[in-house]
Amino acid sequence: MLTRYGYDNAIPMLIIGFSLIVLSAFVFSGALSWVSTALGFIIIFFTLWFFRDPLRVIPETALLDHSIVIAPADGKVVEIIEIEENEFFKGKARQISIFLSPLDVHVNRSPVSGNVAFYRYMQGDYLVAWHPKASELNEQSRIGVETGFGKVLFKQITGVLARRIVCTVKQGDTLTTGEQIGMMKFGSRMDIVVPLDAEILVKKDQRTRGGETVLANLNKSK
């Protein structure tokens, strides 16, 4: 199943792929025909793979307990650090960074349930997504959610290959844990910022599955 966020790219790419295969069958000959066929199949396979939208089962505990923070994206945890976040938290917080390769599912989901109290789209650079400064300098969407257990901020961040962010969220929206909110196209990074006292339940280099992996637990005593 293809994600609806990728139709504008996927449909033209599929047309190109099938066109190359048709040309190889009826127009080209010899080595050119073989090259055209191979290239056509590569484009079709990559398109179907990159824009796939697999079924994910949101943990029932996360749907019932809104202190649970789940992964908003597939990928690899590349950083868990303390930061100074001055836009939404206005103070110290903990950041979990997930790097998405071009082979990962790029559909993004809300990590928590709550009200969108902050949204900002920021133009910027295209540093490699795992660069420490990518979180501050790269083009990105920043989404701040007020939950019943505190604030959570998550960022869709472009990389060298990712040059387009799709985000369907706006300030004032109400989000549900695991709800699809957009995608990042062709390799990118997702940062999730939680309060300092949140319990972090993942480790650096761990793989995550968007909508399924539990990242953290917010402090229920607040």
Tens digits of per-residue pLDDT, 174-215? 999 999 999 987 768 899 999 999 999 999 999 999 999 999
Tens digits of per-residue pLDDT, 87-129? 999 999 999 999 998 889 999 999 999 999 999 998 877 666 6
Residue 113 designated active-site:
no
From the list 29, 110, 188, 221, the catalytic residue is 188
Ranges assigned E (strand) in 66-187? 68-70, 75-85, 91-100, 107-109, 114-122, 140-147, 150-158, 164-167, 174-175, 180-185
Tens digits of per-residue pLDDT, 127-172? 666 666 767 777 889 999 999 999 999 999 886 665 678 999 999 9
For residue 56, the model assigns a pLDDT of 94
Question: Comparing C-alpha atoms, which of 116, 128, 76, 66 is closest to residue 98?
Answer: 76
Strand partners, 96: 80, 192
Report the mean per-residue pLDDT for the chain: 91
Q: What is the mean pLDDT of the segment spanning 38-47?
A: 95
Comparing 102 with 66, which gets the higher pLDDT? 66
Look up residue 93 and give its DSSP letter.
E
